[in-house]
């Protein structure tokens, strides 16, 4: 993907970024990128845990359709 890039290319890109954003704004920019990355990783972890919990087999004890006086009783809420 980045086969022909050398150290000089990286220095030129860094110089352009410095010119565009200025030295004063770079720490704030890096801090906001870091916070965004942390939030993104946390959301992905939460999604994986949610998927794992929903894929776990549930016990069928007590979930069977029970009828009381001809009416179907509500099932217990899923956790």
39-62 pLDDT, tens per residue?
A: 999 999 999 998 888 876 655 555
Q: Determine the Cα–Cα distance for residues 56 and 53; give it in Å rounded to an integer.
A: 5
Residue 58 inside a domain? The answer is no
Residue 76 inside a domain? The answer is no
Q: For the chain, percent helix, then strand, then coil, each to nearest 5? A: 55, 5, 40
pLDDT value of residue 75: 59
Quote the percentage of the chain above a pLDDT of 70: 67
Quote the percentage of the chain above a pLDDT of 90: 25
Q: How many domains does the chain have?
A: 1
Residue 42 inside a domain? The answer is yes
**Least confident segment among 11-15, 33-37, 52-56, 60-64:** 60-64
Enter the DSSP assignment of 70: T
Q: Determine the Cα–Cα distance for residues 12 and 18; give it in Å rounded to an integer.
A: 10
Q: Determine the Cα–Cα distance for residues 79 and 4; give it in Å rounded to an integer.
A: 53
Q: Determine the Cα–Cα distance for residues 79 and 57; give it in Å rounded to an integer.
A: 12
Residue 36 inside a domain? The answer is yes
Q: Which domain holds residue 36?
A: 25-50
Q: Is the pLDDT of residue 25 over 90?
A: no
């Amino acid at each position: 993907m980045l086969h022909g890039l050398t150290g000089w290319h990286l220095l030129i890109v860094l110089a352009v970024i410095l010119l565009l954003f200025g030295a004063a704004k770079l720490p704030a920019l890096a801090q906001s990128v870091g916070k965004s990355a942390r939030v993104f990783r946390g959301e992905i972890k939460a999604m994986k845990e949610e998927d794992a919990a929903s894929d776990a087999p549930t016990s069928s004890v007590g979930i069977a359709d029970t009828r009381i006086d001809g009416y179907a009783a509500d099932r217990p809420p899923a956790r």
